[in-house]
Chains A and B, each alone.
Chain A
Amino acid sequence: MNILTYIESRGGKVRPAGCEALSLARELADSSGGKSYGLLIGDNVESLAGDVKKFGIDKLILVENPELAGYSPEGYREAVLAAVAETGAEAVLLAASAMGRDLAPTLAARLDAGLLPDCVEAGYADGKLTVTRSVYAGRCMLELSATTMPVVISIRPKAFAIKERDESDLDIGKVNVDLGGKIRAKLLETKVEATGKIDVADADVIIAGGRGMKEADNFKLIEELAGILGGAIGASRAVVDTEWRPHSEQIGQTGKVVSPTLYIAAGISGAIQHMAGMRTSKVIVAINKDSEAPIFKSADYGIIGDAMEVLPALIEAVK
């Protein structure tokens, strides 16, 4: 199975989720006896080639065009379709990021391909590509396989490890696309949040607060701890609904699904909708004054206590 991996990049940088996808692509290509093709899209992405040398790519395709400087579903769709035509790839792999969640179904519709979205496991055995994904907010896992080719697979960021190999010389090919009149939904601008702020989806450490924080102002404790640990701020649905925190920080069924190395939940009871968004974190720490809170069932380490007292002590201890 020849695989084409779209390597997500933004602001002149390859995103980690793109490297995760490349790492998986190499494994799938090896187990199916195929080739791993990489794809970079943008207005000037050749300079990023050096960043993807360690992923055993058989050939790197560059699709460059001023109209591809920012993401648009139609522009990036055309770029991927051109790369599929060039390489003859049967599988298209990409990250299920904000971009990938939009692009993957777009591609599947145009390629008349099966879609295996937001996978947390993937493997190729007995001539079949089989994946696992979570459904019903993480209450069940679904194993699916592709019955035809081509197929489009998106993978959940941080669900697959980045595996570097020995650096090798890259075979690079450029493919042109004609976008004349094809982009009807155009990106006007990207507003980047204040510098230094880490998005929950990208963070290795997340400090999340819930109703137990008592009032919006108390989130400055969480901000301080996040600052010290280089982490991001998360929030439960309750504190987003009361507008203490923005929706971009919400973790859970109607927010973001995250898998950081360390997740500290302060004053969060652990409703099933919240757990859906963070249960795959490597280490979960819960701070809650209710010893019966469901969060303690899933936490690796728990402290029974008022987050307002425990957090300042924790800040002092890790400073």
Chain B
Amino acid sequence: MNIAVLVKLVPDSTAVVKIGDDRRYISTADLNFVLNPYDEYAVEEGLKIKEKEGGDVTVVSFGDDTAQKALRTALAMGAGAAVHIKSSGGSDMLGTAKSIASVLKDRGFDLIVAGKVAIDDDCGAIGPMVAELMDIPHVTAVHTLSLVDGKLTAERDIEGGVEVFESTLPALITAEKGLNDPRYATLKGIMMSKKKKIEVVEAESFESKTEVIKMSYPPSRPPGKIVGEGVEAVPELVKLLKEEAKVL
């Protein structure tokens, strides 16, 4: 099984994000960047399948040189090869997906795994876009996956239920929390990963079809009130919810 895993470096989820002077992007100074949490599930799933079925896992990341940190993390977890699609940025979702698809398309991957969403831009678009551009089927936000006889069965949550899909291979899936428990990189893994070479491919550039106008902080919620302490405050709370907020 020849598996590709798409990974992205993102500010860690506890980061205090500040908007940059251009008012269009965040200021990246002083931020701690990590492998996108959903991509950890994707890498783990790739490794699990490789360990069961044989084959190899190639991790792929698009972006400037910092993308290599995401690749190193995935290599340390156990991926066998890494491809950095080098770009100075500026592409929108579809432009990025086109660059990635153009690099992946002739490499004969049986399965491509991506995270459900990157926790920075919260789009969740690259996975399905890459699948479409490569003309392969996809299932997104998968929390349960099995591979039998060259087909995959994947389960995903929808509002109030679970959808079960079956797909032919090659295919692309995106990983939801719950798919697995990502392994930690071992010291040996980290040492080994440093010896692995990252293949660098210059990204083909594609026209962006959307543009960023500005970034701002969300309006803060008006200060609320402490109704009181303990059970004594409950009658007052219920009264406020009924008469002031009118939600009961």
Contacts and interface: CB of A to CB of B under 8 A. Distances in A.
A99 B158 contact: yes
Contacts of A211: none
A52 to B, nearest CB: 19
B106 interface: no
A166 interface: no
Contact of B166 (A109, A188, A193, A305): A188
A136 B13 CA distance: 8
Interface in A221-241: 229
A207 to B, nearest CB: 13
A300 B237 CA distance: 11
B137 A309 contact: no
Contact of B234 (A102, A143, A291, A310): A310
A135 B136 CA distance: 29
Nearest to B14: A272
Contacts of B218: 134, 138-141, 279
B213 A302 contact: no
Contacts of A193: 160-162
A214 interface: no
Contacts of A285: 237, 241
A147 B97 contact: no
Interface string A229-273: 100000000000000000110100111000001100000000011
Chain B interface SS verdict (over half): mixed
A74 B158 CA distance: 17
Interface stretch (A25-33, A42-50, A86-94, A311-319): A311-319
Interface stretch (B51-59, B60-68, B116-124, B188-196): B116-124
Contacts of A105: 93, 97, 123-129, 132
Contact of B125 (A108, A197, A296): A108
Interface in A160-207: 184-193, 197-199, 201-202, 205
B93 A186 contact: no
Interface string B113-152: 0000001111111111101110011111101000000000
Interface string A75-117: 0010000000000000000000111011011101110111111
A213 interface: no
A279 B234 contact: no
B141 A102 contact: yes
Contacts of B143: 247
Given A105-B129, A143-B213, A185-B139, A197 B94 contact: no
Nearest to A316: B234
A252 B124 CA distance: 16
B93 A304 contact: no
Contacts of A65: none
Contact of A136 (B26, B133, B167, B228): B26
A9 interface: no
B187 interface: no
B166 A185 contact: yes
B231 A310 contact: yes
A318 B164 CA distance: 39
A40 interface: no
A303 interface: yes
B140 A102 contact: yes
B90 to A, nearest CB: 13
Contacts of A113: 94, 209
9 contacts: A140-B17, A184-B137, A184-B168, A272-B14, A282-B247, A301-B227, A301-B241, A305-B230, A314-B238
Interface of A: 15, 70-74, 77, 97-99, 101-102, 104-106, 108-110, 112-118, 130, 133-148, 151, 184-193, 197-199, 201-202, 205, 229, 247-248, 250, 253-255, 261-262, 272-273, 279, 282-285, 291, 296-306, 309-310, 313-314, 317-318
Given A106-B132, A140-B217, A187-B163, 12 more contacts: A104-B125, A133-B122, A140-B26, A141-B218, A191-B162, A199-B159, A279-B221, A301-B240, A303-B226, A305-B230, A313-B234, A317-B238
Q: Please give me the 8 A-B residue pairs with the lowest Cβ-Cβ distance, nearest first.
A: A114-B209, A109-B132, A185-B137, A105-B125, A185-B167, A184-B137, A199-B160, A98-B158
Interface of B: 11, 13-15, 17, 19, 26, 37-38, 92-94, 97, 119-129, 131-133, 136-141, 143, 153, 156-168, 171, 176-178, 207-218, 221-231, 233-235, 237-238, 240-241, 245, 247-248
